[in-house]
């Protein structure tokens, strides 16, 4: 079974991806991981991607698609695939469909984890981090014993720039702008399933499992 996982920042996609990989014995194809691996191994495609990333630019669709297909072609036949972070737009979605068709394969389900904006803002903007250890707290769900101080090291906790309410809203605007078109695209194909991501991780995963049985 081949699945695409969609969801805004803070939707808990990482947690659900881990659970799905175990459940389906699937191979995860994540664009972030692909970029990092190719850059680390200094592949020709990785070198091209690095040029754009170093300039703070988005990696062009054509190059992203080539990198994804390079990874997909290494997956053994019959193995389930979980795509995370790809496709991000219609150009990539159409290229994926075309490539799958050529290989006598297809996307079976697109799981869209839907979470209300106010819930996402609360989840992300409440994070507090110890920069030296990377440990993450949350002012509501997992607060430190003393406000703003790491329980173990006594160091000061900070809110990352990306986690401020204004930054989260901006990230959500960008995500919604591109993804609303994708959701429509896959809905018309009849393979889109929308999941209520505001529930607990276990409840979200139960919904996903039930949707895969249909």
Q: Which residues contact 156 (CB under 8 A, 6 or more apart)?
A: 148, 149, 150
103 a catalytic residue: no
Instruction: Give all strands of the β-sheet with 2-6 in edge-to-edge order.
Output: 27-30, 81-84, 2-6, 109-114, 192-196
88 a catalytic residue: yes
Q: Tell me if 164 is assigned to a ligand binding site.
A: no
How far apart CA 122 and CA 165 sit, in angstroms, is: 8
Contact criterion met (CB below 8 Å) for 159 and 115: no
Q: Tell me if 103 is assigned to a ligand binding site.
A: no
171 a catalytic residue: yes
Q: Tell me if 37 is assigned to a ligand binding site.
A: no
User: Which one of the listed residues 13, 48, 123, 128 is annotated catalytic?
Assistant: 13
Contact criterion met (CB below 8 Å) for 83 and 7: no
Q: Tell me if 190 is assigned to a ligand binding site.
A: no
Q: Tell me if 57 is assigned to a ligand binding site.
A: yes
User: Which one of the listed residues 48, 123, 127, 128 is annotated catalytic?
Assistant: 127
How far apart CA 100 and CA 108 sit, in angstroms, is: 11
Q: Tell me if 14 is assigned to a ligand binding site.
A: yes
128 a catalytic residue: no
Q: Tell me if 181 is assigned to a ligand binding site.
A: no
Q: Tell me if 86 is assigned to a ligand binding site.
A: yes
Q: Tell me if 123 is assigned to a ligand binding site.
A: no
Q: How far is CA 161 from the centre of its chain?
A: 20
Q: Tell me if 171 is assigned to a ligand binding site.
A: yes
Q: Tell me if 110 is assigned to a ligand binding site.
A: no
Q: Tell me if 128 is assigned to a ligand binding site.
A: no
How far apart CA 23 and CA 97 sit, in angstroms, is: 24
User: Which one of the listed residues 19, 88, 109, 135 is annotated catalytic?
Assistant: 88
User: Which one of the listed residues 103, 160, 189, 209 is annotated catalytic?
Assistant: 160
User: Which one of the listed residues 50, 135, 169, 171 is annotated catalytic?
Assistant: 171
Phi and psi at 212, nearest 5°, equal -75, -20
Query: Which residues does the annotation place in the binding site for ATP?
Result: 10-15, 127, 136-137, 199
Tell me which residues are annotated as active site: 13, 88, 127, 160, 171
Query: Which residues does the annotation place in the binding site for AMP?
Result: 31, 36, 57-59, 85-88, 92, 160, 171
Query: Which residues does the annotation place in the binding site?
Result: 10-15, 31, 36, 57-59, 85-88, 92, 127, 136-137, 160, 171, 199
């Amino acid at each position: 079974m081949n699945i695409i996982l969609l969801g805004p920042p803070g939707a808990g996609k990482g947690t659900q991806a881990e659970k799905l990989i175990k459940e389906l014995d699937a191979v995860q194809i994540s664009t972030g991981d692909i970029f990092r691996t190719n850059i680390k191994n200094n592949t020709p495609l990785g070198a091209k991607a690095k040029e754009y990333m170093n300039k703070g630019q988005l990696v062009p669709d054509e190059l992203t698609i080539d990198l994804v297909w390079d990874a997909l072609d290494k997956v053994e036949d019959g193995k389930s695939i979980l795509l995370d972070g790809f496709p991000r737009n219609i150009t990539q979605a159409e290229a994926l469909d075309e490539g799958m068709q050529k290989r006598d394969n297809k996307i079976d389900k697109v799981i869209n984890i839907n979470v209300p904006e106010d819930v996402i803002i609360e989840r992300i903007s409440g994070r507090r981090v110890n920069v030296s250890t990377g440990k993450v707290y949350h002012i509501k769900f997992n607060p430190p014993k003393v406000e703003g101080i790491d329980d173990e090291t006594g160091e000061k906790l900070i809110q990352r720039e990306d986690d401020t309410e204004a930054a989260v809203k901006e990230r959500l605007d960008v995500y919604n702008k591109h993804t609303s078109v994708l959701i429509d695209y896959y809905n018309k194909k009849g393979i889109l399933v929308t999941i209520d991501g505001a529930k607990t991780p276990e409840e979200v995963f139960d919904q996903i499992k039930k949707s895969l049985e249909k």
